[in-house]
Amino acid sequence: MDGDIGAIVEARRDIITRLKTMLIESLNLEMEPNEIAEDSSLFGIGIGLDSIDALVIIVGIEDAFGVSIPTDEPHLYRSINTIADFVESQLVVK
Amino acid sequence: MTPLTRPESNVMEFVISPDGPSIEGYEGFRQTVAISTLDNMAALAISGNDATALLDAAATGNIQELYEYSVRYCLLLTDAARIISDLIVLKRDDSFLVLMDKKNVAAVREQFATLANDFGDVAIADVTGESAFISVDGPYAWELPKALIGLETIGIRLLTFQDVEIDGYAVTLVRLGFAGEYGYLFITPRDAAANLLDRIRKARPDAVFRTGPMPAEIRLEVRSYNCLVDSPNGESPLECGLHWMIDFRKDRFVGLEAIRREVANGLSKKLVALNIPVDREAKVSKVFCQGQEVGYIVNAAYSPIAKTGMAMAYLDEPVAWVGVTVSLPTQDGLDLEATVVSAPFLLAQSNEVEMS
């Protein structure tokens, strides 16, 4: 891998790892990071979190990354990957 | 980079075309209602005092904790954690109805029968021939059970079901979805199917009617797992991203040890979504990154709503990350550029469809 792709992957991997850790710790999930797929739906047919969990996730994202995720756009926190997309976009803006 | 074992014998070619044939029932699935008779679906009835124990020992999901009239998606694996079939398990009292694709039913039944030797009181019956399966999907799917049964059907929670009666026939109404919507599945005795279908079609005359399994393109748009398409070379559930169908805390299911090893060791490849901007027909198959072959496509199509080519591909783990750009050789010698993106390609919710 050249530098550009290596940098993209490392940045993404770092955000994903931090997000999974935040999710597991803040929701007291009995899971390991490797037991969550990045594209799995966090709600409904998927991991099965609920609206209360969503609020915890929103607070966790703010604490972990210093970015505010809009509460009225649930598609942003559909999965670990969609949250990471949002976090990346906000970190670029900063 | 850990080398990916290439399934050379089973790498398939897919055509992505902005001007290609329309996807069967597309408007129904995405804008109104699609009514599908799922003649590809099979069902096993499992009963007896040890039915729960048998299913729990076999499947990756937690069946012991499944409530009555609830539904669980899970997998049936080999000892090496290769997928035999995905299963939809419905629990009614102390008996179960297990749904799967008809192509998998013989292997599933064989696996259950083998395990049943460890359990005293289990009966397994193939009820496929006695049953009919009618799925309604799309943003207005909810109108059909409401019209046929009543307003209370709107309140049926996702992944639950009810036993209802329509024209004197027993019908199991299941709330789940294959097309990204929260649709409904009607399971009815085969001799009542024609009547029920007629009632459903009259309740929404403008609905699209079709027969057969959900189109692969529809499932691709919403990244709905398709056992017959997504793991053609014996890829593992974790490589497929099916972690959510597995209860990792269970102390027993077939394939558990292999799954635990994979969790501990990490994956060498992952199934990821590729966004492929195209303005012409393209045949795609293998995936390259900086001149190196890094993966293969298992499903691809053009999305009329997202207006882009889309594919699911297994990529070497070091490049299987959102944001990585890859290239796809095509039939005319020109490479297409594609980007790993977050799935799904479309977010299909209640009454709206928007791009991911």
Q: What's the pLDDT at B353? A: 43
Contacts of A37 in chain B (CB under 8 A): 238, 241-244
Domain ranges of chain B: 8-23+217-355, 27-211
Q: What's the pLDDT at B349? A: 57
Query: Is B241 in Cβ contact with A32 (below 8 Å)?
Result: no
Task: Evaluate whether ipTM surpasses 0.90.
Answer: yes
Sequence-separated (6 or more) residues with CB below 8 Å from residue A7? none
B322 close contact with A: CB closer than 8 A: yes
Q: What's the pLDDT at B197? A: 96
Q: Smallest CA–CA separation between A57 and chain B, in Å?
A: 18
- How many Cβ atoms from other residues are within 10 Å of residue B42's Cβ? 24
Could you check whether the bond before residue B344 is cis, i.e. omega within 30 degrees of 0?
Answer: yes
Which of B137, B240, B322 to mutate to test binding with chain A, by most A CBs within 10 Å of its CB?
B322
Alpha-carbon distance of B133 to B197, in angstroms, equals 10
Q: What's the pLDDT at A94? A: 63
Structure-token pair, residue B316: 């070497």
Q: Where are the alpha helices (DSSP H) in A27-79?
A: 51-65
Q: What's the pLDDT at B96? A: 98
- Helix, strand, or coil here: B352? strand
The residue of chain B with its CA nearest to that of A46 is B244
From the candidate CATH numbers 3.30.2020.30, 3.30.1360.120, 3.30.499.10, 1.10.10.60, the one assigned to the domain spanning B27-211: 3.30.1360.120
Q: Which CATH class is domain B8-23+217-355?
A: alpha beta
Q: Smallest CA–CA separation between A74 and chain B, in Å?
A: 11
Nearest CA to B111 among B86, B89, B84?
A: B84
Q: What's the pLDDT at A93? A: 67
Nearest CA to B245 among B56, B73, B52?
A: B73
Q: How many CA atoms lie within 13 A of B108 on its CB side?
A: 27
Alpha-carbon distance of B216 to B108, in angstroms, equals 22
What are the two backbone dihedrals, phi and then psi, of residue B314, each rounded to the nearest 5 degrees? -85, 125
**Are the C-beta atoms of B225 and B86 separated by less than 8 Å?**
yes
Q: What's the pLDDT at B352? A: 45
User: pLDDT tens digits, residue range B95-140?
Assistant: 999 999 999 999 999 999 999 999 989 999 999 999 999 999 999 9
Alpha-carbon distance of B176 to B89, in angstroms, equals 12
pLDDT under 70 in chain B at which residues? 1-10, 348-356
Residues of chain A in Cβ contact (below 8 Å) with chain B: 1-2, 5, 8-9, 12-13, 30-32, 34-41, 44-48, 75, 78-79, 81-82, 84-85, 88
Domain ranges of chain A: 3-93
| pLDDT above 70 coverage of chain B, percent | 94
Alpha-carbon distance of B293 to A59, in angstroms, equals 41
pLDDT under 70 in chain A at which residues? 1-2, 93-94
Q: What's the pLDDT at B356? A: 41
Q: What's the pLDDT at B9? A: 55
User: pLDDT tens digits, residue range B154-170?
Assistant: 889 989 999 999 999 99
Q: What b/e readout covers B177-187, taking b as 16+ CB neighbours within 10 angstroms? A: bbbbbbbbbbb
pTM assigned to the model: 0.92
B5 close contact with A: CB closer than 8 A: no
Sequence-separated (6 or more) residues with CB below 8 Å from residue B242? A37, B75, B83, B86, B225
Is domain A3-93 annotated with CATH 1.10.1200.10? yes
Which of B220, B243, B339 to mutate to test binding with chain A, by most A CBs within 10 Å of its CB?
B243
Q: What's the pLDDT at A48? A: 82
